[in-house]
Amino acid sequence: MSKTAIRTENAPVPTGPFNQAIKTGNFIFTSGQAGRNRDTGQMGDIRDQARRCIGNLRAILEEAGSSLDDVVKATVFLRHAEDAAAFNEEYKKFFTPPLPARSSAIVGLKNPDMLVEMEVIAVTQE
């Protein structure tokens, strides 16, 4: 099975040796996305970061011919447990039932201003 790299200018460029996403067959696997503003580099609070993070994922999926509606699995990494409720409020604005399967973890993230990182797996009908 072949793999296709997915790249879009509508989401931040990767800062390491990886692609924004890989498409193989009907599956799209994204790399973790942060809530960094791609133009200014600013992070903001958890709500800002959640919206931008999911917006970046949406842009990557659209480049791959998919959408947030096609997400079957999400993995969320939060810096602080107390941010979970605010993150979930923003998350619910982007995803509709049936909601994707999801795992969440409280972790140390690469950038000290980074409050959330999220990756998804989506399935397309192509």
CATH code, domain carrying 86: 3.30.1330.40
Predicted confidence (pLDDT) per residue in 90-108, tens digit: 999 999 999 999 999 999 9
pLDDT on residue 126? 65
Residue 66, domain extent: 4-123
How many H helices and E strands in the chain? 2, 7
Is the separation of the CB atoms in 70 and 124 below 8 Å?
yes
Q: How many domains does the chain have?
A: 1
Of 111 and 107, more confident: 107
Q: Which residue has the tokens 């990756």?
A: 119
Other CB atoms within 10 A of residue 45 CB: 11
Dump pLDDT digits (tens) for 38-89.
788 888 999 999 999 999 999 999 999 999 999 999 999 999 999 999 999 9
Residue with tokens 């959408």: 67
